[in-house]
Amino acid sequence: MTNVTPTADAVDQDTGGYPFHVTKEEERRLRLQGARAIPSPVIGQATSFDEYARQLMVPPAVMDLARKAADLRLSAWEVEAMRKQLAPAETDESMGLLRRILLRKNDKDSTHPPYIRVACTGRGDFDRLATEHGYLDDLEEPEGDIGSPVVLEIWPAQHYSPIHSHGHTSGIVFCLAGQLDVMLYDRLDWNATKLGMLTLTPGQCAWLTKETYAVHRVFCPMNGGDGTTGPGFMNSTDEFGASFHVYLNPDETFVEIDDGESHTRNAFDYIREDNQARDKFETHSDLSWSVLRRVLASTPLT
Ligand SMILES: [Fe+2]
């Protein structure tokens, strides 16, 4: 379906480039480490005794989330409509809603290339944009909700998140389309030790809890067109990855600990790309799924 740009293509052999800052040799080692990690950072139907053993210690709460998500798929027309909405446009008039949102997010914060969060419950900050561009009738609520427990994330090719922690939540990252690289870190720090690297393809599921794999960075390694990824980068293709995320708060998994870190999915801590300092972002959603689904349904696919 897509051409995959090797992650290390743009990597400087000495220091490593964006987004993971690893050399090709380190990447090989980290992929091997990810594949051997215990408990397995990826949940799937085990096909070998080794895989089964690596998944034994995956906590039941996230195993339950993964099983419930196992059959989720985007339909072919939904993927194609997302592609159309993300594609670079020659004129402002022909620009899709998702590309518009990316450009606005990039204007607001160019410390890393933007991706899109779609709240599967609640509203999104840019829902109104869908009405302004004629996809829908007027909406009443001006601002999106924070902290949706179920989120669809859309990752344009070569765009990535900062290193961030999911605090005390427990959750899953389930790949729905394209391809996503996930780097796992041992703590929330620019100089954190990398625990391993994974690639998720549709149907594969990564997971996290406060104790295990809570800190990561996500990157879509597909073909982003011209230029090299980094702060301010906007891709020039319509390729993308999509992932389905579920985050449960501690009171929803019956485990509560107080150590000053964020307890809820309403805000997550992260490391800023520009000054490498710790910061906090409220998990505003860009769109709501109910709005995006209507936008996709009205996207001409020819
Ligand atoms: Fe995340």
Whether residue 250 lies inside any domain: the answer is yes
How far apart are the CA of 48 and the centre of ligand 1, in A? 28
Whether residue 224 lies inside any domain: the answer is yes
Whether residue 54 lies inside any domain: the answer is yes
Q: Per the structure, how many domains does the chain have?
A: 1
Whether residue 209 lies inside any domain: the answer is yes
Digit-coded pLDDT (tens) for 139-155 = 665 567 788 889 999 99
Q: What is the pLDDT of residue 140?
A: 62
Q: What is the pLDDT of residue 248?
A: 93
Q: 1 or 80, which is more confident?
A: 80
pLDDT over 80 (residue 2)? no
Q: Nearest Cα to 212, choosing from 55, 72, 51?
A: 55
Q: Nearest Cα to 112, choosing from 192, 219, 215?
A: 219
How far apart are the CA of 166 and the centre of ligand 1, in A? 6
How far apart are the CA of 137 and the centre of ligand 1, in A? 32
pLDDT over 90 (residue 76)? yes
Whether residue 4 lies inside any domain: the answer is no
Whether residue 75 lies inside any domain: the answer is yes
Q: Determine what percent of the chain is predicted with pLDDT higher than 70.
A: 90
Q: What is the pLDDT of residue 15?
A: 65
pTM greater than the 0.85 cutoff: yes
Digit-coded pLDDT (tens) for 184-220 = 999 999 999 999 999 999 999 999 999 999 999 999 9
How far apart are the CA of 138 and the centre of ligand 1, in A? 32
Structural domain including 206 reads: 10-297
Whether residue 85 lies inside any domain: the answer is yes
Whether residue 140 lies inside any domain: the answer is yes
What are the percentages of helix, strand and coil residues in the chain, rounded to 5? 25, 25, 50
Average the pLDDT over 112-133 and give the result: 90
Collapsing DSSP to helix, strand or coil, 82 comes out as helix
Q: What is the pLDDT of residue 1?
A: 38
Q: Are the CB atoms for 124 and 285 separated by under 8 Å?
A: yes
Digit-coded pLDDT (tens) for 231-284 = 999 999 999 999 999 999 987 775 455 566 777 788 899 999 999 999 998 888
Average pLDDT, the chain: 90
Looking up residue 115, the CATH number of its domain turns out to be 2.60.120.10
Q: What is the pLDDT of residue 262?
A: 73
Q: Nearest Cα to 164, choosing from 219, 242, 240?
A: 219
Q: What is the pLDDT of residue 4?
A: 42
How far apart are the CA of 172 and the centre of ligand 1, in A? 9
Structure-block tokens of residue 166? 């999911």
How far apart are the CA of 283 and the centre of ligand 1, in A? 11
Q: Note the residue count of the chain.
A: 302
